[in-house]
Structure 1
C-alpha cells in the first residue's frame, strides 16, 4: 500500500474511533430527530385540518402539546406516583406469597413422589433467613446506600441536562426542518445528493407511521388494561394501566415487564387473580399486535420479531438503556437504508451488470 492509502486507512480508523466515543451524543441527536419528526407530523396534521401556514400550525401544535402535558401531569401524575409507590411497597409481600406458594407446591409434589416430606426443600427456607442482620451489616448497608444516593443524584442531574439538550435540539429542528435536511444532504457526494434526500424522506415517512401507530396502540393498551383490571377488582388500576401503556413503547421487553406489577398486586388477593391478570394481558397484547397496530399504521412498517429482538439486544449493548428505548425507531431507519441504499442502489445494479452479456 502507498502512503496515501495508509493515510486514508488511518483516517477511517480515527473516524470510527471518534464516532464510537461520541455514540452517546449521537444517540441523543437521534432522539431529538425522532421527537422533532413527531412534532412535524403533528404540525402537518394541523395544517391539513385547518389550512393555516406552517408557523401558525407550529405554534398551535406546541401550545396544544404544552396544554396536554400540563393537564395530564396535573390529573394523572399525582395518583400515579401515589399508587406506584404503594405498588413498589407491595412487591416484597407478593414475593413472600409467591415463595410460600412455591414451597407448598413443591412440598406436595415431594409428598406425592416420596410419600413423605424428606427435607429436600431446605434450600427454599434459606432464601429468607429468620435472623436479622448484624449491626455491622446494617452500617455497611447504610454507607453503601448513601453512596448510591449520591450517584443517583449525579445521574439525575446528568439525565436532566441530556433531556433539556434533546428538547432544545428537537425544537430547533422542528422550527426549520427543511434547512437542517438540506445541510444533511450536503454531506453526501454531489452525484448522490438527490437520491440521499429521497432516502431521508422515506426514513421520515417510516418513522412517522411508526410513531402514530405506537401512540395510538399504547393508548388502547392502557385503556384496555385499565378496564380489564377494574373488572377483575385489582387494586392500583391507574398506575398499572399507565405502566402498560408506557412500556408498550418497548416491544417484547416492555409488555413482559408490565405484567409483573399487576400480577404482584393480584397475587396478594388470590392466586387465581394473578392468573386472570396474566390472561388479560396476553389478550390485550394479541389485540394490540394483530388488530390495533395494523389498523392504525398509515404506511407498512414490517419488522420481523427476531430482527426486533436482535436490534434491542444490539442497541442496548452499544448504547445502554436509552438504546433499548430507541431500538425500534433505529431499526426502522436501518431497514429503510438497507433496502434503498444497499439493495436498490448497490446490489441490484451490480446484479444487472453481471447478467448483461
Structure 2
C-alpha cells in the first residue's frame, strides 16, 4: 500500500517563516546583543532610579542624575588608577613567562610542561608587545559602550510603559500573568547582576588587601583579575589563583603557599558569608549546571558567551516557569 506524505501550504509557509525569522535574528545578532546588555544594565540601575523618583524627581531627571553620578565616579576612579594599572599590567605581561617558569620548577614539572611553557612564553610575549594596540582597540569599544548606555537610559525612562506595551501584545486574560513574568525576570536578573557587582568588588578588594599584606608584586592587576573573573562562578576563582600563585612562587615558596591560602580563604568567605547575603533574591544554580552553562556559552560565542551565559539561562528559566504556570 502506497503512502503519500501530504504537506499543507500552511506548513510550508510556517516553516519558511520560521527559517526567515531565524536568519533575520542571526543577521541582527549584534543589535540583539546591544539590547540585551542594555536591558541588564537597566535592570541593575532601576532600583536606584526608583529611589530618586521617591525623592520627588521625575523618572527622566532621575536617570540623568544617576548617569551624571556614574560618569563623575568613573572619571575620578579612572584618573586615579588607570595610569599605574596600565604600567603594572605591561610589566606583568612581560614577566609572566618567568613567573610560570618559577611555578613549574617549584613543583618539579619541567619535563612535562616544557613545550607548554614555551608556548605560553610565546603567547605572552606577543601580548606584551601589543599592549598599546590592544589599548587603542579598547578605545574603539567606547562606541559600543555609549550605544549600550543610551539604550539603557531609554529603557530606564520608559521602563513601566515598555512592560505594559509588551504585555498588551498578548490576550487580555494573559496580560496579568505576562506582567508577573516580566516582574520575576526584573527581580531575579536585577538581583543577580547587582549581586555579581558586589561580589566582584568584594573579592577584588579582599584579594588586593591580602596581596599587599603578603608583599606580592603586581597586586593591583592580580586583584582586578580576581574581581573580574568572579563573574564566572566556580571557574573564575580557580583561574584567578594561577597567575597570582605564579607571581608569588617567583618571590619565595612561603609567599606562594601564602597566596594560595589567601585565595582559598577569600573563596570560603565568599561562599559562606557574602554569597548568601547578596544573592538571596536571585535564583541559585547548581554548581555543575553553572559550569556547563558557562562552558557552553564560551564554546558557542567565546568570552562574551561565557559572561552572558548565566543571565541568559536565568531569563530562560524564569520565562519557562512562568509559561508552566500559565498552562495550569
TM-score (norm 1): 0.77
Higher Rg of the two aligned structures: 1
Counterpart of 2:295 in structure 1 is 313
> Cα deviations across residues 172-215 of structure 1 (Å, max 9, x unaligned)?
21222123323433444554333222211110011121122112
Greater CA drift, 87-96 or 54-63? 54-63
Measure, in 2, the Cα distance between the counterparts of 1:294 and 1:234: 30
Measure, in 2, the Cα distance between the counterparts of 1:81 and 1:192: 53
CA RMSD of aligned residues (A): 3.2
Alignment of 1:1-357 (within 5 A): 1-48=7-54, 50=55, 52-102=57-107, 105=108, 159-297=141-279, 299-341=281-323, 343-346=324-327, 349=328
Alpha-carbon contact 1:264-1:274 (below 8 Å) kept? yes
Measure, in 2, the Cα distance between the counterparts of 1:317 and 1:125: 27
Tell me how far 1:4 sits from its aligned partner. 1.7
Alpha-carbon contact 2:232-2:306 (below 8 Å) kept? yes
Alpha-carbon contact 2:53-2:59 (below 8 Å) kept? yes
SS where residue 326 of structure 1 aligns? helix
Tell me how far 1:38 sits from its aligned partner. 1.9
Tell me how far 1:220 sits from its aligned partner. 1.6
> Cα deviations across residues 98-152 of structure 1 (Å, max 9, x unaligned)?
34335xx369xxxxxxxxxxxxx5x7667789xxxxxxxxxxx99xx99x99x97
Gaps of 5+ in 2: 1-6, 119-124
Measure, in 2, the Cα distance between the counterparts of 1:184 and 1:260: 46
Tell me how far 1:51 sits from its aligned partner. 5.1
Gaps of 5+ in 1: 108-120, 130-140, 350-357
Greater CA drift, 174-183 or 212-221? 174-183
Q: Number of aligned pairs?
A: 316
Measure, in 2, the Cα distance between the counterparts of 1:182 and 1:154: 42
Greater CA drift, 272-281 or 175-184? 175-184
SS where residue 267 of structure 2 aligns? helix
Structure 1 ranges of 4+ moved more than 4 A: 123-129, 151-158
Measure, in 1, the Cα distance between the counterparts of 2:235 and 2:90: 22
Measure, in 2, the Cα distance between the counterparts of 1:128 and 1:154: 29
